[in-house]
Amino acid sequence: MSRNQSLCTIFTFVAFSSLAELQPVLFVVFLVIYSFTVGGNLIIISLISVTPFLHTPMYFFLVNLSFLEMCSITSVVPQMLVHLLVETKTISVGGCAAQMYIFAILGLTECCLLAAMAYDRFVAICYPLHYTLLMGPRMCLKLAVTSWTTGVVVESAQITRIFSLPFCGTGKIQHFFCDIMPVVKLACVDTSHIEIVMFAVSVLFIMTPCLLILCSYLRILVTIMRIPSATGRRKAFSTCSSHILVVSLFYGTALFTYLQPKTAHTPETDKATALMYTVVTPALNPVIYTLRNKEVKEAFQRITQKNPLRQMA
């Protein structure tokens, strides 16, 4: 780093700088999506908590997933909403680090949690007679704790390494939040070795859960195809369909974002995919797990039927 370069203490987001006239509209759109996402996930968590027949391993993991989605979207969208209303869209280096810590930890934890949910469906369909034994409360707790611990340990080490770098220049981030690659590009030093390590970590800790999910569903598919009746096959597949959709949305954007080479990254594609996994995907998950899940819909109907206001009407 040359002596006449000063270190950055503040970053500036320039993702929406060319959309000044649309920013009020974008504010309303993102506010509605954020409110819907937080409200939908809160309803799922509350519904599962007060409904005894939903106190099963699958819904235990769903509560964890809903909590993750709420925290993940909250780490990004509220700040983005503020920046859509103000002219100066800045964040301190410390604030940027905090946002990246939270978002990255939650992202990796969700990777592991989705693998745990796939294992739960594998045991339920392939070994139904041993399900209560293999997926007891202690096993569920171990899988959840392992998912959270992996996310915290791995991403804390990676983000700490990133923010040990010196940042200089204009400090302009071609993004709407502190994502890894746009921030690394602001470093004053050669980051090629760090990018290689980050790519290796992404391959290991994103692809390993992904491979576990694929293996689980291959076994599930084989088991389902052996069920003699079409009704039985349909019923078995319906218990997995919501999870398959969520996994497809999550891993589709994650693989596209974090496993492509540096030369393939452009500000436009980074922002488009980031909007998918920070705003759109969390908003779709409550819809998927309510509209496509008979047990959740049944629980919701029971709660609404017991509502005193509805009975008085």
In tens, the pLDDT along 206-218 reads 889 989 999 999 9
- Which of these, 267, 293, 249, 306, lies nearest to 183 by C-alpha position? 267
Q: Is 142 left (phi over 0), alpha (psi -120 to 50) or beta?
A: alpha
The residue type at 15: A
For tokens 């998918």, the residue is 276
Coil/strand/helix, residue 178: coil
Q: Residue 168 in contact with residue 129, Cβ under 8 Å? A: no
Between these two residues, 267 and 135, which has the higher pLDDT value?
135
3-state SS track over 199-257: HHHHHHHHHHHHHHHHHHHHHHHHHHHCCCCHHHHHHHHHHHHHHHHHHHHHHHHHHHH
d(CA 311, CA 306): 7
Query: For 87, which DSSP code?
Result: S
**pLDDT given at position 296:** 77
End-to-end Cα separation, the chain, in angstroms? 72
**pLDDT given at position 264:** 60
48 pLDDT above the threshold of 50:
yes
Burial 38-47 (b: 16+ CB within 10 A, else e): bebbebbbeb
268 pLDDT above the threshold of 90:
no
Backbone φ and ψ for 172, nearest 5 degrees, come out as -85, 125
**pLDDT given at position 258:** 64
Between these two residues, 274 and 34, which has the higher pLDDT value?
34
Backbone φ and ψ for 185, nearest 5 degrees, come out as -65, -15
The residue type at 100: M
CA 155 to chain centre: 14
Can you list the positions of beta strands (E) in 21-94?
90-92
- Which of these, 38, 88, 90, 25, lies nearest to 68 by C-alpha position? 38
0.75 surpassed by pTM:
yes
- Which of these, 206, 119, 190, lies nearest to 155 by C-alpha position? 206
309 pLDDT above the threshold of 60:
no
Q: Is 261 left (phi over 0), alpha (psi -120 to 50) or beta?
A: beta
Give the model's confidence band at 261: pLDDT under 50 very low, under 70 low, under 90 confident, else very high.
Answer: low
**pLDDT given at position 118:** 94
d(CA 55, CA 142): 17
93 pLDDT above the threshold of 60:
yes
* DSSP element (H, E) containing 12: strand 10-13
**Torsion angle (degrees, nearest 10) of CA 76, 153, 211, 293:** -50
Q: Residue 176 in contact with residue 274, Cβ under 8 Å? A: yes
Averaged confidence pLDDT in the chain: 86
CA 86 to chain centre: 27
